Amino acid sequence: MPTIAQITLQTLGIALAALATAYALVACFAESRTAKRALPMRAHDYERRTDANTLVSSDCCTPVTVLKPLCGGEPNLYHCLKTFCVQDHPHYQIVFGVQDPADVALATAHRLQAELPARDIVVVIDSRLHGSNGKVSNLANMLPAARHQILVASDSDVIVDPGYLRRVTAPLADPTVGLVTSLYRARAVGGLWSHLVAIFINEWFMPAVRVARLFGSASFTSGVTIALRRQTLEQLGGFEAIADVLADDYWLGEHTRRLGLKTVAAEGVVETVVAEPSFGSVCRHELRWLRTIRSVQPRGYGPLGITFTVPVAALGTLLAGADSVVLGLASVAVVARVILHRLARPACAPPWLAPIGDLLVFVLWCWSFASRRVRWRAGEFAVERDGSMQRTS
């Protein structure tokens, strides 16, 4: 006769397998709703489609300033930035910003200036710090160079299609919309380590975002796209208001919502370039992202455990033993995970790498509870419970 302890473990195992399976099925449904959306083209495709020195003749769009904070010579930086310079928007300015006069990214910014003289491209070099978040300080330094009332801030590793600016600024015609962001996919550049991070983004993080949106959440805001009115930014205190937080994109959206304005996601998806040189860099980046999520969603972070489908289903099977119910649930979970992997194509990693990536993310999620410290670029920071961060080294 089973003991109380055995019954408890078996019940717990079945519950874990059931929750992991249910989540995997919902994630597949949420992902399938956007899987058919076209991914952006490569930069060389834009060059064939658009004469980069010819401004589009149209009066239908409000002028826009694009803010691109730069730091270091990232892989594919030229192609990423070039995609923002060949937009079919009729009237836009691009502001590149660096904090270090010796930053190697400057060469790419100046190259684009020289190649595209018809484009309104400005380069700002300003080392002032407004808080512990260097990227936000960079944005604050760039803002005085912005000439237009609609602002689009975007990370330097993003690839977009020629219609991007029109899409992300169109929702701002609605006065109840305060901020527009974008869903995205990662494209691995390099080998094994880059593919592991692509799995994290394409097959865990973004499906989780889509599931949350499916249930009505509007809290997702990503640095790949932040489009808003200058007036809105001034109302929430400028970039300086988020200069000390780790999750600057999330808090910009949160402050905007506190003004009574909506955060919406633009149509389509964009791509981010992922290039990881080592296993250590993979762990540091994923751990920073996980602890960033923990800093903004402290109550919901623990329940995220059920989103690690295969590791949690395996743990449930281990706890419940060879129970037919839990084995059936685990089988469904594995099939759903395979489907989710296929839905992530063509930006996904090789199939055999997916379970390794899942296990790594699950281990790092467990590890993320041990500390609030993160490594970001060359610095180490302690993240407080309110989301602010202080440099420790």
Kindly state whether residues 13 and 120 are assigned to the same domain.
no
Burial of 44 (0-12, 13-18, 19+ CB in 10 A): exposed
DSSP 384: P
Count of other CB atoms within 10 angstroms of residue 231: 10
Provide the pLDDT for residue 8.
86
Rounded to 10 degrees, the C-alpha dihedral 128/129/133/135 comes to -10
Kindly state whether residues 30 and 52 are assigned to the same domain.
no
Kindly state whether residues 130 and 201 are assigned to the same domain.
yes
In this structure, is residue 135 part of a structural domain?
yes
Q: How many domains does the chain have?
A: 2
Owner of token pair 């018809």: 118
**Which spans in 259-302 are helix H?**
279-296, 298-301
Residues of the chain with pLDDT under 70: 1, 35-60, 345-349, 378
**Domain finish residue from 243, 278, 313:** 278
Kindly state whether residues 12 and 125 are assigned to the same domain.
no
Kindly state whether residues 127 and 203 are assigned to the same domain.
yes
Kindly state whether residues 214 and 362 are assigned to the same domain.
no
Q: How far is residue 337's CA from residue 352's CA, in Å, rounded to a whole number?
A: 12
Q: How far is residue 111's CA from residue 98's CA, in Å, rounded to a whole number?
A: 15
In this structure, is residue 146 part of a structural domain?
yes
In this structure, is residue 47 part of a structural domain?
yes
Domain of 163 in residue numbering reads as 43-278
The helix, strand and coil proportions of the chain, stated in percent and rounded to the nearest 5, come to 50, 20, 30
Kindly state whether residues 154 and 63 are assigned to the same domain.
yes
**Domain finish residue from 251, 278, 305:** 278
**Which spans in 95-229 are helix H?**
105-115, 134-142, 164-169, 192-200, 206-214
In this structure, is residue 385 part of a structural domain?
no
Kindly state whether residues 218 and 361 are assigned to the same domain.
no
Kindly state whether residues 107 and 169 are assigned to the same domain.
yes
Q: Is the pTM of this model over 0.95?
A: no
CA 20 to chain centre: 23
CA 206 to chain centre: 8
Kindly state whether residues 221 and 138 are assigned to the same domain.
yes
In this structure, is residue 286 part of a structural domain?
no
Q: How far is residue 133's CA from residue 135's CA, in Å, rounded to a whole number?
A: 6
Q: And the tokens for 14?
A: 């079945």
Provide the pLDDT for residue 347.
53
In this structure, is residue 332 part of a structural domain?
yes
**Domain finish residue from 232, 249, 278:** 278
Q: How far is residue 68's CA from residue 96's CA, in Å, rounded to a whole number?
A: 5
pLDDT tens readout for residues 227-261 = 999 999 999 999 999 999 999 999 999 999 999 99
Kindly state whether residues 327 and 304 are assigned to the same domain.
yes
CATH number at residue 234: 3.90.550.10
Provide the pLDDT for residue 1.
66
Provide the pLDDT for residue 287.
94
User: For residues 253 and 263, is the Cβ–Cβ distance under 8 A?
Assistant: yes
In this structure, is residue 389 part of a structural domain?
no
Strands 64-69 and 150-153: parallel
Cα–Cα distances (Å) from 181 to 96, 250, 253, 287, 365, in that order, read 20, 10, 9, 23, 26
Kindly state whether residues 209 and 357 are assigned to the same domain.
no
Q: And the tokens for 79?
A: 């192609």
In this structure, is residue 386 part of a structural domain?
no
Q: How far is residue 387's CA from residue 381's CA, in Å, rounded to a whole number?
A: 11
Q: And the tokens for 195?
A: 């593919």
Provide the pLDDT for residue 10.
87
Q: How far is residue 67's CA from residue 225's CA, in Å, rounded to a whole number?
A: 10
